[in-house]
């Protein structure tokens, strides 16, 4: 427990963190990777180059300082990040190294303003917050390893099948090389892959949502090829998977993780809103929901640029034709020739509040996944329709950010 004096000191640093938070976290990661290069194997270096990880950590520090009187308020975030850490392989022994470099970065950036009292208070707060992460993650490691078919760390899986779902999305069907059972998962969860890309000094770890139905003898993930754009290079792992990983190859996989999940026993109507490859967790949820209750009231609206990049159309058509309670609609931003003739095509353009008002029951639960601007637009549209934030659930395919700012 922190003393009131310590909490007061932490709270007094809120304005400083608001102003210098990203500078501190940028220096922190630079120091961490210089002092502990093995961390380069764990953390996503593209997120570092894009500054996304630094922003996410700065926001987390700011939130911790702001909520220091009620630190239990940040527990949902601890759990969410804990799932990612468990997939990536963050261990208790990493926390002292992280703490040491974080405090050193604070001292370095804040200079004389970082008094001994301030650094002392943050050292205590860090120890407490790190303790919360370690406890949550230890429980997750134990759970992942002890369930039927579960395992600890990374397990080799064979690529049994590769299926092209669109011009840019390909599914990979994975079975364990040891031939053993595999852990089931909750619809919406993801796998974490660890890959060694020839020519790169460090392993790359990325999360991929499970896009199939739980309870099978294989996992399915579906990966969008992130091509070079605006002067930025091809995505490392997605292009490697698409171009260099073939049927029969081995991938190192961490057990399913994640807290963006659907309780299929809910009596409420469900609305899924996906953009691009954001379909993956929602498709798994849809399969599970209809397997549990084939007549559940469910609406699925998918946005894509046009038909060539739209994945899973046949799978969705098949679900819609066998489940009259599923209302399925597609919206293409720039439809190409014949796209408008596709089954379930609704209109050209984007999904907005007036369109949603014709499709959804306001008392529904909403599950959203897609690029950040898409999710921002969906949250704004639902808020225009007076949907309560408690009814809205979403997953970021990158470090956590705010959708309402």
Question: Residues within the annotated binding site for heme b?
Answer: 85
Positions at the binding site for FAD: 190, 396-399
Q: Could you count the other beta carbons within 10 Å of the beta carbon of residue 263? A: 13
Which CB atom, from 139 or from 228, has the smaller least distance to ligand FAD? 228
Active site residue 95: yes
Hey, what's the torsion of the CAs at 19, 25, 26, 31, to 10 degrees?
Answer: 140
Positions at the binding site: 85, 190, 396-399
Task: Choose, from 29, 95, 126, 219, the residue flagged as catalytic.
Answer: 95
Taking the alpha carbons of 19, 24, 26, 27 in that order, is the dihedral positive or negative? positive
Which CB atom, from 13 or from 189, has the smaller least distance to ligand FAD? 189
Task: Choose, from 29, 126, 137, 186, the residue flagged as catalytic.
Answer: 137
C-alpha span between 18 and 395 (Å, rounded): 25
**Cβ at position 277, least distance to ligand FAD in Å:** 4
Q: Which residues bind ligand FAD (CB under 6 A)?
A: 46, 49-50, 190, 206-209, 222-224, 226, 228-229, 232-233, 235-238, 258, 277, 280, 395, 397-398
Which CB atom, from 141 or from 208, has the smaller least distance to ligand FAD? 208
**Cβ at position 55, least distance to ligand FAD in Å:** 13
**Cβ at position 281, least distance to ligand FAD in Å:** 7
Which CB atom, from 16 or from 140, has the smaller least distance to ligand FAD? 140
Active site residue 93: no
Closest-approach residue to ligand FAD (CB): 235
Which CB atom, from 242 or from 296, has the smaller least distance to ligand FAD? 242
**Cβ at position 384, least distance to ligand FAD in Å:** 27
Active site (catalytic) residues = 95, 137
């Amino acid at each position: 427990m922190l003393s009131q004096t310590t909490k007061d000191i932490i709270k007094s640093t809120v304005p400083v963190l608001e102003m210098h938070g990203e500078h501190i976290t940028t220096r922190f990661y630079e120091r961490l990777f210089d002092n502990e290069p093995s961390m380069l194997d764990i953390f996503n270096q593209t997120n570092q180059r894009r500054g996304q990880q630094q922003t996410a950590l700065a926001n987390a520090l700011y939130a911790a300082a702001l909520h220091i009187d009620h630190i239990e308020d940040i527990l949902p975030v601890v759990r969410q990040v804990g799932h990612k850490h468990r997939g990536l392989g963050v261990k208790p022994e990493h926390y002292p190294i992280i703490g040491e470099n974080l405090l050193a970065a604070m001292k370095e950036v804040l200079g004389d303003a970082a008094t001994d009292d301030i650094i002392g208070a943050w050292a205590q707060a860090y120890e407490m917050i790190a303790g919360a992460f370690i406890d949550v993650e230890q429980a997750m490691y134990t759970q992942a390893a002890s369930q039927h078919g579960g395992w600890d760390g990374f397990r080799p899986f064979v690529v049994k099948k590769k299926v092209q779902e669109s011009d840019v999305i390909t599914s990979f069907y994975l079975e364990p090389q040891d031939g053993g059972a595999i852990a089931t998962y909750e619809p919406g969860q993801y796998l974490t892959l660890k890959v060694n890309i020839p020519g790169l000094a460090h392993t790359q770890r990325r999360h991929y949502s499970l896009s199939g139905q739980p309870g099978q003898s294989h996992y399915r993930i579906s990966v969008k090829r992130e091509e070079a754009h605006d002067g930025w290079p091809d995505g490392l792992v997605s292009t490697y998977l698409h171009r260099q990983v073939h049927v029969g190859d081995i991938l190192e996989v961490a057990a399913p993780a994640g807290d963006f999940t659907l309780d299929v026993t809910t009596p409420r109507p469900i609305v899924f809103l996906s953009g691009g490859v954001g379909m993956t967790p929602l498709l798994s949820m849809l399969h599970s929901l209809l397997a549990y209750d084939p007549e559940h009231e469910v609406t699925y609206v998918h946005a894509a640029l046009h038909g060539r990049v739209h994945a899973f159309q046949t799978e969705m058509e098949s679900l819609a034709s066998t489940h009259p309670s599923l209302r399925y609609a597609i919206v293409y931003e720039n439809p190409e020739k014949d796209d408008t003739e596709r089954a379930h095509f609704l209109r050209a353009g984007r999904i907005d509040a007036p369109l949603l008002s014709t499709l959804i029951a306001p008392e529904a639960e909403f599950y959203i996944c897609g690029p950040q601007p898409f999710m921002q637009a969906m949250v704004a549209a639902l808020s225009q329709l007076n949907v309560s934030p408690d009814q809205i659930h979403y997953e970021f395919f990158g470090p956590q950010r705010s959708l309402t700012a």
